[in-house]
Amino acid sequence: MADNQSPDDGSLDQDKLSAEWAAMANAPQDDAKVAEEWEKLAAEEPNPLGGAQADRVLDQNEIDSLLGFDGDDDDNRERTGIQALINSGLVAYERLPMLDIIFDRFVRMMSTSLRNFTSDNIEVSIDNTSSIRFGDYLNSIPLPAMLAVFRAEEWDNYGLITIDSNLIYSIVDALLGGRRGTAAMRIEGRPYTTIEQTLIERMISVVLKDLCAAFEPLSPVTFALDRVETNPRFASIAQASNAAILVKMRADMEDRGGRFEMVLPYATIEPVRELLLQRFMGEKFGRDTIWENHLANELWYTEVPVEAVLDEQVLTLGEVMGMEVGQTLMLNTGPDAEIDVRCNGVSMMNGRMGRMGPHVAVKIENIKMRKRKP
């Protein structure tokens, strides 16, 4: 009976494998030997990837590149991957060449003004310039901070200056006689005092005065401080979806300092947008007074041909073709008749014919003023 039975080969293999595993589990083996046995079993298993390594793991750089995060906090960099989809609501920064030069001049002037204001060595620099939705900017302001709302009177609109806590305490410490070489003490968890707000308002007045001087060669404008807020909800000067230009700057005072940011909505700079789009060399803002004066002086020496018209007649083509040499043309102008003086076909003056010595002269009696076309 036993010879007639043919046991299943698969069942025997499974029983044999289970017995081996049970023996391996019960046998006392060291960790190195167990690890070696597991490596052998893994090597005998078929690779479902067709020869590729199944244990391929992405490193952190590859994961960041896939997701669009490269660890750089620069707003001017090109966004890729998921980061590009997340930030698809951002507005493209319109290049305004003259605005960049205005802020470069503003930074230089402000460095000098803040040195005089604090009697300390202050270096002001621009980190970057970008474009952002105004609502997104308000939500990204790190608190505590002071938000100064200023008004551009000639443009009839508003702008915003945000000063972070580090710069506030550094300026207050410098104005109240803090020793150099020591970091400004920060006291978190309390609102700003009246003294701190008053000192920062004085600093903002200095900053706005320099901003007026920076814009003056382009378009004279007056920036006046409207109010100072500590809650971003009360500093809304535009709709949340409106585009605005964000300029991030930094002020360093040896081992102290901080950041402050200026926001100008596109609606604010719209009256001078055409001027900001112009390109120029240096800080003349597209004008060269030396060339203007030279051109104005040289125009007085320009030679202009002037014609004294004695008479005008309308003839047929046949009469003109029938003219011969020696023929006399009769003019309908007497010796004392008034004649027309023209320049390039345009009537300029009226006068009378005469003689001065050996020359035939015209005495000017009336100058015709041309009306400019609107």
**Distance between CA atoms of residues 81 and 371, nearest Å:** 63
pLDDT in tens, 155-193: 889 999 999 888 888 888 888 877 665 555 555 667 888
Taking only the tens place, the pLDDT of each residue in 2-20 is: 444 444 555 556 666 666 6
Q: For helices 165-175 and 194-215, give the axis angle rounded to 10 degrees.
A: 100
Q: Which two tokens stand for residue 237?
A: 């000067």
Give the span between the Cα atoms of 66 and 130, in whole angstroms: 25
Percent over 90 (pLDDT), the chain: 8
Do strands 346-356 and 338-343 pair parallel, antiparallel, or not at all (unpaired)? antiparallel
Question: What is the greatest pairwise CA distance in the chain?
Answer: 160
Element (H, E) at 267: helix 266-269
Four-CA torsion 132, 138, 139, 142, nearest 10 degrees = 110
Domains in the chain, CATH or no CATH each: 58-89 (no CATH), 97-276 (3.40.1550.10), 307-322+330-367 (2.30.330.10)
- pLDDT band at residue 151, thresholds of 50, 70 and 90? very high
Closest CA to 261 of 141, 90, 155: 141
DSSP 235: G
Structure tokens that stand for 279 in this block: 């390109």
CA proximity to 189, closest of 229, 233, 144: 144
Structure confidence at residue 40 (pLDDT): 64
Nearest CA to 157 out of 221, 105, 88, 206 is that of: 221
For the chain, give percent helix, strand, coil, nearest 5.
40, 20, 40
Give how far Cα 337 sits from Cα of 36, 57, 62, 256, 347, Å. 127, 106, 96, 88, 17
Q: What is the pLDDT of residue 67?
A: 63
Tell me the pTM.
0.52
Give Cβ neighbours of residue 290 (< 8 Å, ≥ 6 apart): none
Neighbours of 359 (CB within 10 A): 7
- Give the Cα separation of 200 and 179 in Å (integer): 19
pLDDT band at 24 (very low <50, low <70, confident <90, very high): low
What span, in angstroms and rounded, lies between the C-alpha atoms of 179 and 336? 94
